[in-house]
Structure 1
Amino acid sequence: MSRPTSHGGGQAGPPIAGDPSSFPTDAELSRTLVAATRIATLSTLTAAGYPYGSVVSYAYDDAGDPVVLISEMAEHTVNARGDDRASMLIVDGAGEGDPLGRARLTLVGRLGVLDDPGELRDRYLEAHPYAAYYADFTDFSFWRLRTEQCRYVGGFGHMSWVSADAYRDAGVDPLWEAAAGIVEHMNGDHADANLAYAQVHAGLPDASEATMLGLDRYGVTLRATTPAGPRMARVPFATPLADAQTARPALIELLSLARAQRDFD
C-alpha cells in the first residue's frame, strides 16, 4: 500500500503570506521542542518484539540527546537491557484546540546506561528536583538515548525526517523561554500591532484582525482574518535575535516600519 502524499485529496490551503522562508528549520524546531519540554513517552521493545510505551521525565545533553533516570525494576529498563533500540515521543503541551495541530517529535535511537553521568546528573536534577529523593537508590540509573533519526511534525501537512547530524548541529532558539509570555502580551495588549504586521509586512491589506501564534529568533507567525478566510502569515525580523531582551525593540521596529509604510502610501 502506498502512502498518501497530501491531506484531503490534495486540496491545498492558501499559501502562507509574508516570508515563509524565515521559519526555523525543522532541526531547530526539534531542538527547541526538546528544550521546552520535560516529559515524554519512551517506547522500548519487549522480549516478544512488541513496542512498550511508558511516561518518563528527561533532561538533555549538549547534543540534544535525552537523559532519563529509570529503575531496574521498570519494564522499560528490562526491555532496554534486552534490546537497546528505542524511541521517545515529545509533544508540545501548550495551546488549545486540536492536539493533532501541535508540534511533536519522535527521536529514534539506542538507549544505553551512563556508568558515570557526571554533570548530566546535575542537569537532570535541576530540571526535576523531586528526583533527588530517589536518584541515589541502588536500582536507579541514568540512561541516554543516542539519537539516530528524528521525525518532526509541526501540525497538519508539516512533517519531515531530520538526520541525526542536522539535529545535533542545530541550536535551541534563544527565545523559547520568553516566547509564550511575549505572544500573550502582544495578543492581549497590542492587537493593533499584530494587525499592522499582517497588513503591511505580510501583504494582507484587507486583513481585519491578526493573532500572534508564535515568535522565535527569526520572526513572528500570525493568523490573520481576511474576507477570503483565515490566512497564516510569517513576518521576519531584520536580523536574527540573540536573546529575549532584543525581542521588544525588534517588534517596535517592525511596527514603526509598518506605520511609516502606511504614511508613505
Structure 2
Amino acid sequence: MATARKEEAIPPGSGASPTGSRAGLFRTPISGGVHSATSAHDLPPPALAVRNLMEQARFAHLCTVMSRMHHRRAGYPFGSLVDFAADSIGHPIFSLSPLAIHTRNLLADSRCTLVVQIPGWSGLSNARVTIFGDVFPLPVDKQEWARQQFISKHQQWASQQWGNFYYCRMDTISDVYFIGGFGTVQWIDVKEYESLQPDKIAVDGGEQNLKELNAIFSKPLREILSTEGEIDDAALISVDSKGTDIRVRQGAQFNIQRLSFEVEHGVGTLEEAKKALQKIINRGCNQRKKL
C-alpha cells in the first residue's frame, strides 16, 4: 500500500545517496507533510492509499462505546480485534456474534471507530487509518451478499465460521483520519474516499500475490540491501500500482522501505509487478558488481 511517510526515495538513476545507498531502495527523512511527500515521490493520493489499505488488511481494531448493561464500565471505549471486508465504496462489513461485547455495544449505540493497520505492522512509522462511523445490522435480504464479500476477501475461512454470526455494515462514515508515518497525517474527505476505486493489484490476489512475490524477490532484495549493512530479512508487505512497501529487519530492529516500480502507468497485475521488481533487482546487481 503506497503511503506518504517520513522517508525520501532516492531519485531514479541517481546511483547512490551521500551515504552510498542504492537507488530506489533506501530513503532519508523529509519534511513538508503528506502532500509534498505524495507529489515528490509519486505515491498514490492519501484517499487512494486508504482504499488500498482497506483492501489489503484483513483485521482491524473496532472501538465501541460500552453500554449500560456493563454498569461501572458504561460509557468507556471498548476495543476489540475483528475481521472485516470493504464493499465497493469502502464501507467496512463485519461478521459479528450476538454474544460479543462489541456487538451488544453497537446495538445500544451505533457509534464506533475502526483502526486499520498496514499488514506486517512493525512500528509507529507504519501506515494506519481511523474510520469514524455508525454500524448497523444488515437486513436479512443482504446477509448472503455480505457473506460473499467476506468469502471473496477471506477465502474458505469465511464460509466455516461457527456459531450464530450475522453481518453488519458501517452504513455512514463521518470521518477518515489517515497517518502515513511520522509527520504525514491528514483528514480524508469522505466523498473522495467513497468515490475512488482501489488499485487493481491491491484488490486481486491479496496475500497470495505477496506470498509469490516474496518467494521470488525476498532473498535478492535482502542481498542488495545488505551492501550497506547486514540485513536479516526483507519482506514485501503490501503492493499497489506504484510500488511496494518492504519490511526490513536487522536483528530486533524493523523499518519500512518504499520501493517504487518506476513504471510510467503503474502496474495492474502480478506479472507486471514481477517484471518491475526484476528490473530493479537487475539494476541493483549491476551496481554491486561495479563496487
Query: Do the two structures share a fold, i.e. TM-score over 0.5?
Result: yes
Contact 1:103 1:155 in 2 (8 A): yes
Task: Give the TM-score normalised by the residue count of structure 2.
Answer: 0.63
The answer to whether structure 1 residue 87 and structure 2 residue 113 are counterparts is: yes
Provide the identity percentage: 23
Q: Residue 115 of structure 2 aligns to which amino acid in structure 1? A: L
- CA–CA separation in structure 2 for the residues paired with 1:28 and 1:88: 17
Aligned residues: 226
1:103 deviation in Å?
A: 1.9
Contact 1:46 1:52 in 2 (8 A): yes
Question: Alignment partner for residue 18 of structure 1, among 11, 27, 31?
Answer: 11
> Structure 1 222/93 Cα, relative in aligned 2: closer, same or farther at 3 Å?
closer
Partner deviation per Cα, 1:198-254 (whole Å, 9 max, x = no partner): xxxxxxxxx958978665312456899xxxxx9977643122222122123334556
Contact 1:173 1:216 in 2 (8 A): yes
1:157 deviation in Å?
A: 2.2
> Structure 1 175/222 Cα, relative in aligned 2: closer, same or farther at 3 Å?
same
The answer to whether structure 1 residue 186 and structure 2 residue 210 are counterparts is: no
Partner deviation per Cα, 1:43-63 (whole Å, 9 max, x = no partner): 111244321112222122111
Partner deviation per Cα, 1:178-206 (whole Å, 9 max, x = no partner): 246435633412668x68xxxxxxxxxxx
Contact 2:243 2:258 in 1 (8 A): no
> Structure 1 189/79 Cα, relative in aligned 2: closer, same or farther at 3 Å?
same
Contact 2:245 2:256 in 1 (8 A): no
> Structure 1 183/86 Cα, relative in aligned 2: closer, same or farther at 3 Å?
same
Q: Residue 83 of structure 1 aligns to which amino acid in structure 2? A: D
Contact 2:221 2:281 in 1 (8 A): no
- CA–CA separation in structure 2 for the residues paired with 1:190 and 1:70: 40
The answer to whether structure 1 residue 73 and structure 2 residue 99 are counterparts is: yes
> Structure 1 18/62 Cα, relative in aligned 2: closer, same or farther at 3 Å?
same
How do 1:219-234 residues align onto structure 2 when only pairs under 5 Å count?
Answer: 219=243
The answer to whether structure 1 residue 27 and structure 2 residue 47 are counterparts is: yes
1:18 deviation in Å?
A: 2.3
Unpaired runs of at least 5, structure 1: 1-12, 196-206, 225-229, 261-265
Q: Residue 116 of structure 2 aligns to which amino acid in structure 1? A: I
Question: Alignment partner for residue 166 of structure 2, among 141, 150, 153?
Answer: 141
Unpaired runs of at least 5, structure 2: 1-5, 13-39, 68-73, 249-254, 287-291
The answer to whether structure 1 residue 40 and structure 2 residue 33 are counterparts is: no
> Structure 1 258/99 Cα, relative in aligned 2: closer, same or farther at 3 Å?
closer
Q: Residue 38 of structure 1 aligns to which amino acid in structure 2? A: R
